[in-house]
Amino acid sequence: MIPLSWYLILSAALFSIGLYGVLARKNAIAILMGVELMLNAVNINLVAFWRYLDLKTVAGQAFALMVFAVAAAEVAVGLALIISVYRRRKTVAADELDLMKW
């Protein structure tokens, strides 16, 4: 029997690692990878809450499926933008893409 706390701590750690990746990495692709880790942490939490506290309904599973769809859409658009930027500017470093900075 695994207590719920183990899953909560695990997903909090995974979320924090993803957050660090988003904030610290230079490469825009690596930033998207950090976002993926954060979305996975959220999904673990949703499914764990369903399993431990809300077994009678399917709400947790349904919302976890929505997160899957949103993650797929986010990565498709994000990577397309990165490739488009790379084609024009020959860089994927997030701090060099400062055209709209004032």
State which of positions 44-73 bind another protein (CB under 8 A). 44, 47-48, 50-53, 55-58, 61-66, 68-73
35 is a contact residue toward another protein (CB under 8 A): no
DSSP-assigned beta bridge partners for residue 48: none
**E strands in 28-80:** none
Can residue 17 be called a binding residue for another protein (CB under 8 A)? yes
State which of residues 95, 98, 101, 102 lies at the interface with another protein (CB under 8 A). 95
Q: Which is nearer to another protein, 55 or 99 (CB)?
A: 55
Nearest to 42 by CA among 74, 75, 68, 72: 68
> 25, 31 in Cβ contact below 8 A?
yes
